[in-house]
Amino acid sequence: MSRFLSTVARRTEPYVPGEQLNQPDIIKLNTNENPYPPSPKVLEAIQAELNGNTLQRYPSPTVDPLRHAIAETYGLTKDHVFVGNGSDEVLAFSFMAFFEPGKTIKFPEISYSFYPVYSKLFNISFEKVPLNADFTLPKKQFYNSPGGVILPNPNAPTSIYAELDVIEDILRNNQDQVVIIDEAYIDFAGPSAMKLIDRYPNLLVIQTTSKSRALAGLRVGFALGQPELIAGLTRIKDSFNSYTIDRLAMAGATAAFVDHAYFSESINKVIRTRESTVHTLEELGFEVLPSDANFVFVKPLHKDAKVLYQQLKNRGILVRHFDQADIREYLRISIGTDEQMNTLFEVLKQLTK
Ligand code: PMP
């Protein structure tokens, strides 16, 4: 470690994302991307932006066309919408805007591994709340959190969705703190907490175009909340990167919010494949947690999870294994195309014989 590093850089533990192997024939089921491409309208919009020869000009600092399209989709106004470079950036801004050093925030012990990274980066103390034995949320443990709450719904990597009444109880019992619901996978699950925005000024919902809208490569995430919270995020953003997302991302993501038909078709395909995957994996001797996401969280009953992860990798199939004590026996498998899943099943049959 360089002696020139600041205290912040020293105490930061960089997040390690899933491997990105670039062989064309690899079956990549480790980072919960959409196996299908985005709407053709997205590509047309990006091409039109390029044809306009505008890249020497800065993009709109207020991201208005995209905020409009998102607001229209969800029956909100653009003042309810904040946009950033992937929901990871929106999460970072939210930690800066709403969480306070010295006031402990709470998040589930098993959840998105970026939360402790950001907490350390911004010097925010945190308490990891253990989940129930069946991996559901122990909602009361999140009540009256001194500094606020952040949780993914559906949870990652467990894939379990908490019903809105659970989220509402957590909101009601934290009225003086911000509760962030990280809904990266919500489009594959039940209703979004955005339904509660009108009633809860302390609610911030964060979503992404990386999963259901198949735009992981474009890096566009967004937050929804009452305009006062959104204005707080904008204050932070303006002092860091006043132009937010680039012109091509804005053009492409805006088109993705307009093509509703393509969106629902692609989601339904993933959900159908998820249902058959759950069934087949159970037959193959896996315990499968109830999934409301575009991935499943599974425990091989006859083999060590890490060994299986490595054997799959050796055969060109990437899944995710976490070296974390309480989930070491599990694998997270993203839902791919039917063809990719069938290959996975064939390989698993050979490996678990
Ligand atoms: N939240 C959760 C729970 C996630 O799993 C992910 C994706 N790894 C993200 C946020 C970030 O997604 P992105 O930055 O691509 O929007």
Q: What is the mean pLDDT of the chain?
A: 95
Predicted ipTM?
0.99
For ligand 1, mutation pick of 32, 114, 245 (most atoms within 8 Å of CB): 114
pLDDT at 21: 67
Report domain 18-35+261-351's class.
alpha beta
Taking CA atoms only, the protein residue closest to ligand 1 atom 8 is: 31
Tokens for 331? 């694998």
Residues in contact with 261: Cβ distance below 8 Å, sequence separation at least 6, in sequence order: none
Instruction: Please identify, by atom number, the ligand 1 atom nearest to the C-alpha of residue 31.
Output: 8
Q: Identify the pLDDT of residue 338.
A: 98
237 Cα–ligand 1 center, Å: 19
Give residue 266 CA to ligand 1 midpoint distance, Å.
Answer: 19
pLDDT at 22: 67
The 8-class DSSP code of residue 34 comes to -
Reported as a single tens digit per residue, the pLDDT across 195-229 is: 999 999 999 999 999 999 999 999 999 999 999 99
Q: How far is the CA of 31 from the centre of ligand 1 (A)?
A: 9
Q: Which atom of ligand 1 is nearest to the CA of 216?
A: 15
Nearest CA to ligand 1 atom 4: 184
The whole-number average pLDDT for the span 281-291 is 97
Q: What angle do CA 263, 154, 73 make, to 5 degrees?
A: 35
Pocket test for ligand 1, best of 112, 115, 160, 209 (most atoms within 8 A of CB): 112
Q: Determine the CATH number of domain 40-258.
A: 3.40.640.10
CA of 203 relative to ligand 1 center, distance in Å: 19
Only one residue has tokens 């259901």, namely 212
- So where are the chain's domains? 18-35+261-351, 40-258
Closest Cα to residue 254, out of 101, 39, 29?
39
Give the pLDDT band of residue 8 (cuts 50, 70, 90).
confident
Ligand 1, residues at Cβ distance < 6 Å = 86-88, 112, 152, 156, 182, 184, 208, 210, 216, 221
In this prediction, residue 266 has a pLDDT band, given cuts at 50, 70 and 90, of very high
pLDDT for residue 194: 98
CA distances from 303 to 47, 244, 278, 348 (A): 48, 46, 18, 11
Q: What stretches of the chain adopt beta strand conformation (E)?
A: 27-28, 81-84, 105-108, 126-129, 149-152, 179-182, 203-208, 221-225, 286-288, 295-300, 317-318, 331-334
Which of 89, 183, 208 has the most ligand 1 atoms within 8 A of CB, as the residue to mutate? Answer: 208
Q: 279: CA distance to ligand 1 center in Å?
A: 26
Q: How far is the CA of 88 from the centre of ligand 1 (A)?
A: 6
DSSP letters spanning 255-294: HHHH-HHHHHHHHHHHHHHHHHHHHHHHHTTEEEPPP-SS
- Say what percent of the chain tops pLDDT 90: 90
User: Residue range 312-340: average pLDDT?
Assistant: 96
Indicate the burial class of 57 (C-beta count within 10 angstroms; 0-12, 13-18, 19 or more): exposed
* Closest C-alpha among 299, 304, 293, 320 to residue 34: 293
* Reduced 3-state DSSP string for the chain: CCCCCCHHHHHCCCCCCCCCCCCCCCEECCCCCCCCCCCHHHHHHHHHHHHCCCCCCCCCCCCHHHHHHHHHHHCCCHHHEEEECHHHHHHHHHHHHHCCCCCCEEEECCCCCHHHHHHHHCCCCEEEECCCCCCCCCHHHHCCCCCCEEEECCCCCCCCCCCHHHHHHHHHCCCCCCEEEECCCHHHCCCCHHHHCCCCCCEEEEEECCCCCCCCCCCCEEEEECHHHHHHHHHHHHHHCCCCCCHHHHHHHHHHHHCHHHHHHHHHHHHHHHHHHHHHHHHCCEEECCCCCCEEEEEECCCCHHHHHHHHHHCCEECECCCCHHHCCCEEEECCCHHHHHHHHHHHHHHCC
Residue found under tokens 């694998």: 331
Q: Among the atoms of ligand 1, which is closest to the Cα of residue 211?
A: 15
Residue with tokens 């759950």: 278
Give yes or no for residue 61 having a pLDDT over 80: yes
**What is the 79 CA–ligand 1 centroid distance (Å)?**
23
CA of 127 to the centre of ligand 1 (A): 21
Average pLDDT over residues 275-282: 98
Is the CB of residue 74 less than 8 Å from the CB of residue 66? no
Q: How many angstroms is it from 185 CA to the middle of ligand 1?
A: 9
**Residue 220 Cα: closest atom of ligand 1:** 16
pLDDT of residue 352: 79
